[in-house]
Amino acid sequence: MREASALLTECKRVLAARHKQYGEALPVHQRMGALIGPQLGIEMTAEQAALAMVQLKMARIAGGIKNKKVLKDTIIDAVNYLVISWECRE
């Protein structure tokens, strides 16, 4: 459980750093949905855009990441995109 707690602490740290670097997640993911949605022939919400990023991270994990640091970073990204999807619910 200690390792999971440390991982969640790292998720929070990374999420805060990205917020400071890029600003609020909602407008970024709204723009992402506006750009990608027409390519897919759908109207894509910010929440769906964040969930698409989760799927990208999951595809990388499923493909097999051998480097433990890269795997950890990818898991942190996936968790944080899930959090962002929750924040972007409209």
pLDDT in tens, 49-86: 999 999 999 999 999 999 999 999 999 999 999 999 99
* Per-residue buried b or exposed e for 58-88, using 16+ beta carbons within 10 Å of the residue's own CB: eebeeeeeeeeeeeeebbbbbbbbbebbeeb
pLDDT beyond 90 at 37: yes
